[in-house]
Structure 1
Amino acid sequence: MTGYASAQHSASVEGGQEPQSSSRLGLEIRAVNSRFLDLSFRLPDELRALEPALRTLLTARLKRGKVEVRAAIDVTDNQSLSTPAASQLQRLLTLQDSIQAWLPKARDLSVADVLRLCSGSGAAGTDWSEIAPSLAEQAVTELLAARAREGERLSAMLLDRIQQLRELAKQAAPLVPQLVEQQRLKFLERWKEAMALGDGAVAPEAAQDRALAEATAFAIRIDVAEEITRLGSHLDEIERLLKKGGDIGKRLDFLIQELHREANTLGSKSATLELTRISVDMKVLIEQMREQVQNIE
């Protein structure tokens, strides 16, 4: 199922008497429909080493879907012109002297270099190894909650389509006996006409028996009672699964295929426009269900 969730965590870096800079880790999880679980990660270099742990976390809690995890680290200077700490300045001076001892032509640090290095040194060193997994756990929980809400909406839609299919099945059930009786009367009329043209060459009893036999064979060809019964059984099972919940996506997908098969058979046996219309309406509803079932885990 589709879903989106995000989580953020901010960390401040002390410099002198006040926070000199802050960094923020933002993590997003986007999920769209897929028959299987497909994970992809877009992580900054600082978090590359955490990908296996994040993959394990998501695999344990998600079963289906194309899931993309994005993370970004933003560093902000709160006081870009604040006075650097004495310890930072001493450290930079020591490093500069060491480098120039080996590289005499290396230039001295400028004021801008000092401010930049002092403001960014602490932020760049923030350890996200413990924070990132907890953010991912929080985002996955939000994602599952969002997918659960979507699942409730999908379930309501599917239950509505099930009710409409039941109504169509009720309309189709009485059509077959009426059609069989009409066809039987037509056969009898044709045999009476044939007898009149044949000047009594065929016995009335034989003509009537032949008409009844033809009507019976016709009834067998167009009988859709079995298809309607199976369709009702599949609808009952789908409704039961929706109320039960859990990982039901693949089972629903199979049952939708069976519904489509019964609706196709109903249409192939149709001998009236009314039954054909019912079959077409069923296929439309079943196709709507099929599209939404693809989004259910």
Structure 2
Amino acid sequence: MIRSMTAFASGERSTPWGTLACELRAVNHRFLEPGFRLSEELRALEPALRERLAQRLSRGKVDVSLRLRAASSSEGLRLNPQLLDQLGGLAVDLSGRFPGFKVEFTELLRYPGLLEQSEIDAEALQTESLALMDSVLAEFIKAREREGAALAAVMRERLDGIEAIVAQVKVALPEIRTALRARLDARIADLKQPLEPGRLEQELVLQLQKIDVDEEIDRLGAHVAEMRRTLASKDAVGRRLDFLLQEFNREANTLGSKSIDARSSAASVELKVLIEQLREQVQNIE
């Protein structure tokens, strides 16, 4: 399936240590070039993230953002129950001895060890991060495929146009050759001295060889068929399509250089317009 190189996807995942947020965005690039923006706790994941991208993508400049938004200060905190019981018993004992004894709650929280904050489980956090990355990457690829399907539809329309022009040139070729023969006859008729026997046929054959575009027309037809087959492929085909367009351009240029008729000249120009439109679309394909 054709994929575009441009796409965007994002997602979030709640963890005991906060919220993980992942974003993937990509633009056109000749090769796969990933870039990473990772929270400090996740920097060790870069090799694994890079490997995941390489397994699923082949081209594009891909920016990966993976952040951990820490839980609010009250979350992840807990009281040490054993220490709290000890302090409570001590407070009861002291209040009996000192009737005016009073402890503020905020002062109590400052007691070393009373408040505990859960530590981040690095291995579990990495597992959660990779699961989120896989989920976002799957959505990212779906977005590429949706845009790729739209690009493929546009390209098939341009291929229809190329096929129509090729068919028109095929129909016109016999008339072009007849017109060439008529022009040669007229030139010979204007000559004051008669030609040697067979000279007209020799000249006609020479001129027909110079304007023979049957091979170019056949190749254009073959290139159209190959591009349609490539568009139906499930592999990454951007580079192959780019190569095919070079062949398209070569045949269109040759058709124009051999032209002796306004119809084939116009066909060459129209072909180049459609080929350029195809090239613009191919630049976006993975």
Determine if the TM-score, normalized by the shorter chain, exceeds 0.5.
yes
For 1:72, the aligned partner's letter is R
**Structure 2 partner of 1:139:** 136
**SS of residue in 1 equivalent to 2:281:** helix
Q: How far 1:261 sits from its partner (Å)?
A: 0.7
**Structure 2 partner of 1:41:** 36
Query: Residue 237 of structure 2 is aligned with which of 234, 248, 270?
Result: 248
> Does 1:7 find its partner at 2:2?
no
RMSD in angstroms over aligned alpha carbons?
3.0
**SS of residue in 2 equivalent to 1:28:** strand
**SS of residue in 2 equivalent to 1:77:** coil
- After TM superposition, the score normalised by the length of structure 2 is 0.80
Query: Are the equivalent residues in 2 in contact too, given 1:29–1:69 (CA < 8 A)?
Result: yes
Query: Are the equivalent residues in 2 in contact too, given 1:3–1:146 (CA < 8 A)?
Result: yes
Q: How far 1:194 sits from its partner (Å)?
A: 1.6
Which consecutive unaligned segments of at least 5 residues does structure 2 have?
Answer: 88-105
**Structure 1 partner of 2:58:** 63
**SS of residue in 2 equivalent to 1:40:** strand
> Does 1:293 find its partner at 2:282?
yes
**SS of residue in 1 equivalent to 2:210:** helix
- Say which is worse superposed, 266-275 or 279-288, in terms of deviation: 266-275
**Structure 1 partner of 2:156:** 159
Query: Residue 79 of structure 2 is aligned with which of 62, 85, 88?
Result: 85
Query: Are the equivalent residues in 2 in contact too, given 1:6–1:139 (CA < 8 A)?
Result: yes
**Structure 2 partner of 1:102:** none
Q: How far 1:233 sits from its partner (Å)?
A: 0.4
**SS of residue in 1 equivalent to 2:285:** coil
> Quick one: distance in 2 between partners of 1:120 and 1:57?
37
**SS of residue in 1 equivalent to 2:241:** helix
1:15-43 per-residue CA deviation (whole Å, 9 max, x = no partner) reads: xxxxxxxx211011112222211111111
Query: Are the equivalent residues in 1 in contact too, given 2:181–2:204 (CA < 8 A)?
Result: yes
Q: How far 1:118 sits from its partner (Å)?
A: 9.5
How many equivalent pairs are there? 258
Runs of 4+ with deviation above 6 angstroms: 117-120
> Quick one: distance in 2 between partners of 1:271 and 1:187?
13
What is the correspondence of 1:105-124 to structure 2 with a 5 Å cutoff? 121-122=117-118
> Does 1:193 find its partner at 2:190?
yes
**Structure 2 partner of 1:97:** none
Query: Residue 214 of structure 1 is aligned with which of 203, 215, 219?
Result: 203
1:235-285 per-residue CA deviation (whole Å, 9 max, x = no partner) reads: 111111222332222222111110111011111111122222111111111
**SS of residue in 2 equivalent to 1:295:** coil
> Quick one: distance in 1 between partners of 2:200 and 2:58?
60
**Structure 2 partner of 1:183:** 180
Q: Percent sequence identity over matched residues?
A: 39
Query: Residue 258 of structure 2 is aligned with which of 247, 269, 282?
Result: 269
Query: Are the equivalent residues in 1 in contact too, given 2:220–2:251 (CA < 8 A)?
Result: yes
> Quick one: distance in 1 between partners of 2:159 and 2:116?
61
**SS of residue in 2 equivalent to 1:67:** strand
Q: How far 1:134 sits from its partner (Å)?
A: 0.7
Query: Are the equivalent residues in 2 in contact too, given 1:192–1:207 (CA < 8 A)?
Result: no
**SS of residue in 2 equivalent to 1:34:** coil
